[in-house]
């Protein structure tokens, strides 16, 4: 199977993966039209799907003369521009020096190349060997202006994903302003479909919402300078009847961590168009003759077997071709973080005491959180002053780290390199280094401002300070946090007509800082964070194999947060900890086993004062660490199934992992309420081999895969609210 083919007679491009096919055609007047995306149809070309009609108030290209049936306003297309007669949402908008915005993109040429294209300075999917992927470059050109648009397609056959990006180059003689540059445009024929997206807020990120696609424009977006707690840069589009294991579904993920917009429009002809890319609000990129702009990457996939297959495609693609860290398939050390145990109030004796108690129960990594640097006794001072506060840590950080290493534990540390406090030595020295609009008081958040990391001198200064700390002692883990949205968007390093570039340049600066960190320390385990899950996106996974899922550590709320996250992102990327009860965010009390079962479906760790745990609690915590190490390979590499949803009427949230060879199964869950005289609920597993026999390791009970999937097993009756369950099944030859 060739992943990319071009038929010069029909002028049809065909992109194929193991089970999907994507087709487009160079139509009349060199217009690139979209034909099909869905199940693999072999060598068939579906050119018959384009039906031209004369539709009132839909204009026609000048070349079409009196042929009113050919209109860009209703044609399904690959990438459209403002000002050319297509009045729907478009992929690109440009302002020429005369103030006009017309751009009529015509096919010019193409190349089919082995391997995967690269996007300098931006995160994107990669290949480990050239045969993993193939690249299609299609060059479109607007002849009068000289503007060229190169459409980039990366085809990953084994993962069933196709990547998209766009390179815009000004080959004209005048400067242009790029006002909008989407990474992906996707047109669908008439059909009834739903949009699934993941909304939320701080402490309740990635809640799942499904709604019909109706006439007009629906938008999922963030203008906060980051992907945000409030909307995630990923959407699913599916048939109205689609379920976890039934129906046509499409998934689109933006590999970017800054402002984004995904718009969906149902047009006059009942066709649906989706565009995704950098949010055009406060975006304007100046391109002088010869200059180019490259958009971030978008990743898309299709499933004919429901939503869970979409998740499997994304999980496999991200584990194998996005996460670069050597930890992607390695054991992640079980950690303890001191934040909820001490907040800002600690000294080296308290920290060592927590580490010593952690070592006794089998914890492998101690993480020192906020408050170790500058004059940082609260959250309104010290950011930007990355030197050790020896009034708290007497004797300095190297001495403390050495003591923790002597326990046989690894050491990690918290940083927030993108931020600055007004009450800091750095601000007093360089007040112009933050984003701030001249002549106005800045909008603050959490008592801090954004450093202008679009500027190289700012990035280099901050990272050199941090490198001096990390070089002084052997640090194996870094938690990179950001605790406010980007605001006061103005850079003193750019002229007035380039202020629309600040937000994107700022994001490129963040990526550059992270690249510096992981290049200097290739064995470092990096975990990113943004006040919890405010920047949980595919762009971050290119730099860190895990992201702190939410500042809300309550196990019951985490059921919903981690459920929504699982549609797109691998389970092993979700930072999850067992914290104290009553929970600091909700006041809820849950059993430690329940907290652990939820946290085990993530990176697993502890965030509480271990010195205050009873002997019995320590024994339980130690046993849970042993359990996690046994099941970690399944969580990292197994296929994930959402058996019941948080809002189902089953009174339980249940999920499972199935090994790639279908020989092992891990089932986890939480029963929410204990009811008197309850109904019996049957759990139907998925993804097993119906012919295999499976032995439940605790009871010794043997079932066939068919029985576990089709007949089901009873949900256990709880003895209390919020009781956890966990089953392990292994293939057996026993009778």
Residues 8 and 156 in one domain: yes
Which of 580, 610, 637 is at the close of a domain? 637
Q: Quick check: is 506 in a domain?
A: no
3-state helix, strand, coil in the chain (%, to 5): 25, 30, 45
- Provide the pLDDT for residue 293: 98
d(CA 140, CA 143): 9
Q: Quick check: is 446 in a domain?
A: no
Q: Quick check: is 442 in a domain?
A: no
Give yes or no for residue 54 having a pLDDT over 90.
no
d(CA 666, CA 628): 12
Give yes or no for residue 648 having a pLDDT over 80.
no
- Provide the pLDDT for residue 734: 87
Which of 288, 321, 354 is at the close of a domain? 321
Residues 307 and 394 in one domain: no
Q: By the 8 A CB rule, do 325 and 545 touch?
A: yes
CA torsion, ordered 577, 358, 544, 262, to nearest 10 deg: 10
What is the average per-residue pLDDT within 100-112? 96
d(CA 198, CA 200): 7
What is the span of the domain harbouring residue 137? 4-321
Q: Quick check: is 424 in a domain?
A: no
When divided into structural domains, the chain yields a total of 3
Confidence of residue 67 (pLDDT cuts 50, 70, 90): confident
If you ran DSSP here, which 8-state letter would residue 718 be given?
P
CATH number at residue 33: 2.70.98.60
Confidence of residue 616 (pLDDT cuts 50, 70, 90): very high
Residues 129 and 222 in one domain: yes
Which of 269, 299, 321 is at the close of a domain? 321
CA distance from start to end of the chain: 42
Task: Name residues whose C-beta falls within 8 Å of residue 390's C-beta, 6 or more positions apart in sequence.
Answer: 396
Residues 572 and 695 in one domain: no
- Provide the pLDDT for residue 649: 75
Residues 170 and 295 in one domain: yes
Structure tokens at 28: 């009349």
Tell me the CB-side half-sphere exposure of residue 137, using CA atoms within 13 A. Answer: 15
In three state form, how does the secondary structure of 241-305 look?
Answer: CCECCEECEEEEEEECCCCEEEEEEECCCCCEEEEEECCCCCCCEEECCCCEEECCEEEEEEECE
- Provide the pLDDT for residue 34: 98
Residues 157 and 84 in one domain: yes
Catalytic residue positions, numbered: 537, 617
- Provide the pLDDT for residue 650: 80
Structure tokens at 274: 């989706």
Residues 698 and 587 in one domain: no
d(CA 602, CA 632): 9
Name the pairing type of β-strands 713-714 and 546-548.
unpaired
Q: Provide the angle, in degrees to the nearest 10, between the axes of the packed helices 555-566 and 592-600.
A: 10
d(CA 280, CA 299): 20
Nearest to 317 by CA among 221, 252, 229: 252
Residues 80 and 218 in one domain: yes
pTM of the model: 0.97
- pLDDT tens per residue, range 239-277: 999 999 999 999 999 999 999 999 999 999 999 999 999
Residues 174 and 292 in one domain: yes
How many residues belong to the chain?
735
Q: Which residue has the tokens 């730099």?
A: 543
Residues 397 and 270 in one domain: no
Q: Quick check: is 22 in a domain?
A: yes
Share of the chain above pLDDT 90, in %: 95
- pLDDT tens per residue, range 379-408: 999 999 999 999 999 999 999 999 999 999
What is the average per-residue pLDDT within 494-523? 98
Q: Quick check: is 441 in a domain?
A: no
d(CA 704, CA 113): 47
Q: Which residue has the tokens 């480990």?
A: 128
If you ran DSSP here, which 8-state letter would residue 646 be given?
T
- Provide the pLDDT for residue 256: 98
- Provide the pLDDT for residue 222: 98
- pLDDT tens per residue, range 131-147: 999 999 999 999 999 99
What is the average per-residue pLDDT within 199-217? 97
Q: How far is CA 531 from CA 280, 327, 375, 419, 596, in A?
A: 25, 23, 21, 13, 22
CATH number at residue 691: 2.60.40.1180
Mean pLDDT taken over the chain = 96
- Provide the pLDDT for residue 117: 98
Output 19-26 pairs: Cβ under 8 A, ≥24 positions apart: 19/160, 19/304, 20/160, 20/162, 20/301, 20/302, 22/153, 22/162, 24/78, 25/50, 26/107
Q: How far is CA 230 from CA 200, 233, 430, 585, in A?
A: 4, 10, 32, 18
Q: Quick check: is 412 in a domain?
A: yes
d(CA 68, CA 60): 6
d(CA 241, CA 221): 26
If you ran DSSP here, which 8-state letter would residue 501 be given?
G
CATH number at residue 566: 3.20.20.70
Nearest to 703 by CA among 727, 683, 731, 681: 731
- Provide the pLDDT for residue 735: 75
Q: Quick check: is 494 in a domain?
A: no
Residues 588 and 602 in one domain: yes
d(CA 635, CA 622): 19
Task: Count H helices and E strands in the chain, helices first.
Answer: 12, 39
Residues 278 and 339 in one domain: no
């Amino acid at each position: 199977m060739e992943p990319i083919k071009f038929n010069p007679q029909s002028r049809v491009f065909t992109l194929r993966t193991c089970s999907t096919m994507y087709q487009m055609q160079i139509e009349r007047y060199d217009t690139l039209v979209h034909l099909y995306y869905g199940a693999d149809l072999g060598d068939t070309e579906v050119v018959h799907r384009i039906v031209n009609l004369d539709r009132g108030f839909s204009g026609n290209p000048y070349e079409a003369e009196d042929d009113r049936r050919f209109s860009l306003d209703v044609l399904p297309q690959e990438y459209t521009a403002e000002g050319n007669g297509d009045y729907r949402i478009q992929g690109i908008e440009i302002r020429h020096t005369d103030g006009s915005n017309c751009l009529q993109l015509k096919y010019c040429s193409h190349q089919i190349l082995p391997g995967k294209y690269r996007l300098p300075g931006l995160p994107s999917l990669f290949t480990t060997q050239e045969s993993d992927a193939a690249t299609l470059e299609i060059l479109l050109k607007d002849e009068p202006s000289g503007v060229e648009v190169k459409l980039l397609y990366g085809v990953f056959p084994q993962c069933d994903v196709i990547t998209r990006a766009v390179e815009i180059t000004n080959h004209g003689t005048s400067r242009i302003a790029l006002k909008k540059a989407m990474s992906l445009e996707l047109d669908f024929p008439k059909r009834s479909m739903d949009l699934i997206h993941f909304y939320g807020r701080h402490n309740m990120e990635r809640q799942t919402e499904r709604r019909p696609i109706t006439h007009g424009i629906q938008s999922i977006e963030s203008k906060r300078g980051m992907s945000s707690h409030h909307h995630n840069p990923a959407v699913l589009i599916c048939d109205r009847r689609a379920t976890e294991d039934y129906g046509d579904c499409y998934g689109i993920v933006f590999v970017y961590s800054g402002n984004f917009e995904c718009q969906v429009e149902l047009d006059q002809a009942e066709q649906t168009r989706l565009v995704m890319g950098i949010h055009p609000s406060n975006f304007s990129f100046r391109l002088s003759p010869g200059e180019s702009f490259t958009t971030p990457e978008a990743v898309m996939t299709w499933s004919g077997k429901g939503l869970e297959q979409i998740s499997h495609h994304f999980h496999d693609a991200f584990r194998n071709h996005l996460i670069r860290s050597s930890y992607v398939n390695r054991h992640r050390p079980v950690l303890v973080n001191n934040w909820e145990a001490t907040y800002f109030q600690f000294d080296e004796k308290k920290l060592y005491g927590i580490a010593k108690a952690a070592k006794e129960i089998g914890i492998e990594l101690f993480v020192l959180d906020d408050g170790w640097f500058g004059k940082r006794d609260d959250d309104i001072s010290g950011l930007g002053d990355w030197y050790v506060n020896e009034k708290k840590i007497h004797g300095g950080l190297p001495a403390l780290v050495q003591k923790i290493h002597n326990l046989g534990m690894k050491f990690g540390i918290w940083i927030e390199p993108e931020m600055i406090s007004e009450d800091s030595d750095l601000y007093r020295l360089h007040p112009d280094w933050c984003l701030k609009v001249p002549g106005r008081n800045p909008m603050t958040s959490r008592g801090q401002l954004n450093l202008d990391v679009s500027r190289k001198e700012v990035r280099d200064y901050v990272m050199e300070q941090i490198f001096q700390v990390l070089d002084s002692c052997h640090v194996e883990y870094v938690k990179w946090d950001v605790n406010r949205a980007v605001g006061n968007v103005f850079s003193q390093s750019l002229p007035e007509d380039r202020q629309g570039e600040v937000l994107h340049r700022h994001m490129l600066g963040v990526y550059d800082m992270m690249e510096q960190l992981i290049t200097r320390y290739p064995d470092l385990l990096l975990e990113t964070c943004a006040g919890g899950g405010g920047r949980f996106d595919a762009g971050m996974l290119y730099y860190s194999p895990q992201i702190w899922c939410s500042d809300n550590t309550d196990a019951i709320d985490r059921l919903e947060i981690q459920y929504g996250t699982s549609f797109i992102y691998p389970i092993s990327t979700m930072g999850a900890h067992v914290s104290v009860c009553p929970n600091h965010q909700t006041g809820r009390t849950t059993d430690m086993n329940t907290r652990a079962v939820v946290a085990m479906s993530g990176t697993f760790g502890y965030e509480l004062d271990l010195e205050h745990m009873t002997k019995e609690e320590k024994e339980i915590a130690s046993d849970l660490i042993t359990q996690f190490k046994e099941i970690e390979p399944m969580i990292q590499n197994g296929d994930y199934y959402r058996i019941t949803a948080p809002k189902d009427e089953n009174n339980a949230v249940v999920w499972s992992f199935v090994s790639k060879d279908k020989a092992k199964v891990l089932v986890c869950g939480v029963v929410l309420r204990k009811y008197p005289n309850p109904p019996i609920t049957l759990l139907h597993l998925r993804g097993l081999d119906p012919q295999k026999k499976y032995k439940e390791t605790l009871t010794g009970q043997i079932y066939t895969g068919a029985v576990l999937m089709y007949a089901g097993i009873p949900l256990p009756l709880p003895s209390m609210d919020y009781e956890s369950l966990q089953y392990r099944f292994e293939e057996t030859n026993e009778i």
